[in-house]
Amino acid sequence: MPAFMKSRFIFLLVSAFLFSACSKYNKVLKSKDYDYKLRMAEQYYVKKSYRKALTLYEELFPIFKGTPQFEDLYYKYAYCNYYLKDYEVAENLFKSFLETFSNSPKAEEIEFMEAFSYFRQSPKLELDQTNTVRAMGMMQIFINSHPGSAKTKEAEEIVAACVKKLEAKELSSAHLYYNLGHYRAAALAYTTLSNNYPESPKSDDYKLMIIRSYYKFASLSYDEKKPARYEKVIQEVQDFQDRFPESKLLKDAERYLTLSQNNIKELTK
């Protein structure tokens, strides 16, 4: 068979298959047999045809409410939204599931999924991180409530990822102040960053940036204000020496100590 004929045959075959599938789905939609529709929704769900399953579950929601089948229907309806990446709707449905079926054996799983849906909504670094904060808080609650859960390790990893992202967000803001020449604001931002993430592996970097920012701020000040501001630099360097005696950045920090002391001597001559 020539190549063009083979391609046309495959196209016609696929088209016929799609038409048949579409016709079958339309038949399901028009059916008044709700048990049949539920069975078909289950089949679409298993086949990962979540859009089709979702449409059927939405129709069946009021029909099966209060029946033994309703919990499973609700469960899969929530997951359809999740798999279709409608995370805000999924999060609300997972929350409602827990309120409706508080004693469900699936409750622990759904608690995790509610928090995970918030995490999925965590935006780019430059945007508002409210959902990141919520996801972190909810995952921590999950960890505390289910210490023996098989999901605990994953939840801890998500909390760590949220912390890392929030730290990066604050660091970006501090860098922006520094790069714009707003050195006092930068020093305060780096101080807040250092206080918020004391266990960060970058703690000594943040402390050095506090020192640099205060030094820049002092050097650009009026002469009468410089001595007190250089003293602030000296205090920060001494704190660096106490907190990070083994840091590779110690010499850089101590350079600002020497510069500040020499500047004070010059100013007080």
The predicted-structure confidence for 235-249, as pLDDT tens digits, reads as follows 999 999 999 999 999
- 47, 50, 56, 59 alpha-carbon torsion, rounded to 10°: 160
Name the DSSP class of 129.
-
- Going from N- to C-terminal start, the domains of the chain cover 181-269
**What is the predicted pLDDT for the residue at 23?**
74
Task: Pull the structure tokens for residue 87.
Answer: 């995370």
**What is the predicted pLDDT for the residue at 5?**
44
> Quick one: CA dihedral 123, 124, 130, 135, positive or negative?
positive
The DSSP string of 179-191 is: HTT-HHHHHHHHH
Alpha carbons within 13 A on the beta-carbon side of 146: 17
Work out the percent of the chain whose per-residue pLDDT is above 70.
92
Say which CATH class 181-269 falls into.
Answer: mainly alpha
For the segment 6-26, what is each residue's pLDDT rounded down to a tens digit? 444 344 344 334 444 467 898
Task: Pull the structure tokens for residue 174.
Answer: 């501090």
- Cβ 166 vs Cβ 132: under 8 Å: yes
Residue 222 and residue 243: Cα distance in Å, rounded?
A: 31
Q: Who has greater pLDDT, 23 or 40?
A: 40
Give me the mean pLDDT over the 63-81 stretch: 97
Please count the other Cβ atoms lying within 10 Å of the Cβ belonging to residue 189: 24
Give me the mean pLDDT over the 121-144 stretch: 95
- Rg of the chain in Å (alpha carbons): 30
- 60, 63, 64, 67 alpha-carbon torsion, rounded to 10°: 180
Residue 234 and residue 259: Cα distance in Å, rounded?
A: 9
Reported pTM = 0.82
For the segment 150-198, what is each residue's pLDDT rounded down to a tens digit? 999 999 999 999 999 999 999 999 999 999 999 999 999 999 999 999 9
Model confidence at 224: pLDDT above 50: yes
